[in-house]
Chains A and B, each alone.
Chain A
């Protein structure tokens, strides 16, 4: 069992401490290792902020902290050590055996178990403890749910602006082809036939546009993630183009593009064929 020690604990690099005979092992977060120039095998002193009870530890590994959205912008300086080592440092010397305390216990259930039923059982059997399924422990995700709604609102505004843009563009493009459409009508093609042609064109253009848009988003996904990961020194993914996101985009973009094209064409085709051909 390992415990995480917060950044409030003191860390001294190997050069500052005397080498112990066989110090116990700790894992050091990447950020702490970079700042303190630590590497595997270094000996560090870990202790509470007041320095009391500090002990030597050997760095057994450097780990990437689990990305935590609620700690965005804060470098995670942490070490992980065996719980008995932590308790040995923090418990008063005269503390009776069994008086140690921990903040939380993580439990992995056997496959097929019901986490909710288990937590109810623990709550009933052990008064004073609060057990809850890991899926309910996401209070820190609250701000990100809000941001999700904010981004959705921004996306809706962007879609509205894009729709206006698209309609303006199709109106102009269709208007440019009014003479061609007029001639097609004059040689006998019914309005529905012209509209089908426009529809097929619209599907083709919207499809190609969507593919291009997806390709652009895949390229920008990497750029944005790299920038923000560098900016916040985190392994968090800020943008992720998942298949469902891509599908949603296509399902919005293609019908929107086709509808705009057909609408603009229909407005044009309502006119008299002679007027369309400017005769």
Chain B
């Protein structure tokens, strides 16, 4: 009989112990799997979101993320100048304002009891393309037309053709302007829509009307490069040295250094803790198991099993426990990640389409490699016990006991 089936039989002989060992590794492995997904999850997710928008460069007044920093002025002139750069393919300016809508103020049929005020973000766009993807309906073109996110459509009970009455806060948070009646012409996907902050978007003049006049301001200008992104960013920077110009990679780098570093740190700490825990668990399980079978192992040696063979048997037991636990940990970890993600998604300022736990092929490889190392290291001490086992003395002690 080869080593692996033999090790399997040794484990099956003690089903309770083996099951508990496998379950323990599965629980610890699930946590490890989640921590590996968490370590780069936000960055991977953010990169995906940035790439999905189709823009390579972000131009802002202060370099802050949206709504946190100052607004750019003379947006039309700046946007035109950027679009005229030969390296730039497309560009658009976006301005965000906070607004509120009274569900019952709408003319739409509203389910009974579904009344009240909802907070939303009104997004005005000026430029070649749109930062959203229309799912149903069409892009807004008229003065009063907007597209809304599915979240806003659900919350405000508005569909295609319905009216949305909003009151914008354009200059200050406590400013409330007269209501503006907008018409919903489409449901769109807004990649950076925040959880709990539904969005409506339209041409900049819609926003200007809601704000009771044009301001020619923007929070961000997005641009896509014809060719080399860094060279294009440098050209924009040279043309507008007073503005902050960042490529997607630079935005990600900044987030990696500041915004998301906490999750990398906690992921690293918990990865170490879970691995140490798994190591301890397997080592104790195997050591106690081996100590209880010393007589049996000595008998096998006396029957002709080589030292290497019995050592390999212990190693295989470790590999089997960790392997089985590791396999179970994958679906367990995925389910746990979904739960943890839903907890973290309640954090303010997180886009709804961003995920804290992202599975990449490399994560599976890392998980497997770490568990393999754990299995081998955990087996070292019991392997040493088996390798140094004095056959005759052990058999004599066994007979006497």
Name A residues whose Cβ lies closer than 8 Å to a Cβ of B.
72-74, 128, 130, 142-143, 146-147, 149-150, 153-154, 157-158, 160-162, 164-165, 167-169, 171-173, 175-176, 224, 228, 231
Q: Which residues of B contact A165 (CB under 8 A)?
A: 24, 277, 280-281
Residue of A nearest to B356 (CB): A150
- A168 close to B261 (CB less than 8 A): no
- In which size bucket is the chain B interface? 35 or more
Q: Given A157-B336, A176-B292: A130 and B174 within 8 A (CB)? A: yes
Tell me the complex Cα distance, A162–B27, Å.
9
Known: A157-B27, A173-B288. 5 other contacts (CB 8 A): A72-B262, A146-B347, A157-B31, A164-B24, A172-B288
Q: Select B20's contact among A72, A157, A171, A173, beta carbons within 8 Å.
A: A171
What is the interface of chain B mostly: helix, strand, loop, or mixed? helix
Residue of B nearest to A152 (CB): B343
B377 at the A interface (CB under 8 A):
no
B165 at the A interface (CB under 8 A):
no
B23 at the A interface (CB under 8 A):
yes
B285 at the A interface (CB under 8 A):
yes
Could you list 22 A-B pairs, sorted by A, with CB under 8 Å? Answer: A73-B258, A73-B259, A143-B349, A146-B346, A149-B343, A150-B340, A153-B339, A154-B270, A157-B31, A161-B27, A161-B28, A162-B277, A164-B23, A165-B277, A165-B281, A167-B20, A168-B17, A168-B285, A169-B284, A172-B17, A173-B288, A224-B269
List residues 1-40 of chain B with CB under 8 A from any CB of chain A: 16-17, 20-21, 23-24, 27-28, 30-31
Q: Which residues of B contact A130 (CB under 8 A)?
A: 174
Residue of A nearest to B273 (CB): A158
Q: Which residues of B contact A176 (CB under 8 A)?
A: 288, 291-292
Q: Select A154's contact among B31, B174, B261, beta carbons within 8 Å.
A: B31
Give A73 Cβ to nearest chain B Cβ, in Å.
4
Residue of B nearest to A264 (CB): B16
Give A52 Cβ to nearest chain B Cβ, in Å.
16
- A157 close to B258 (CB less than 8 A): no
Residue of B nearest to A164 (CB): B24
- B24 close to A161 (CB less than 8 A): yes
Give B254 Cβ to nearest chain A Cβ, in Å.
10
- A171 close to B27 (CB less than 8 A): no
Binary contact track B185-219/A, C-beta < 8 Å → 1, others 0: 00000000000000000000000000000000000
Tell me the complex Cα distance, A72–B27, Å.
32
Binary contact track B163-178/A, C-beta < 8 Å → 1, others 0: 0000000000010000
Tell me the complex Cα distance, A171–B20, Å.
9
Give A183 Cβ to nearest chain B Cβ, in Å.
13
- A153 close to B340 (CB less than 8 A): yes
List residues 272-286 of chain B with CB under 8 A from any CB of chain A: 277, 280-281, 284-285
Q: Which residues of A contact B348 (CB under 8 A)?
A: 142-143
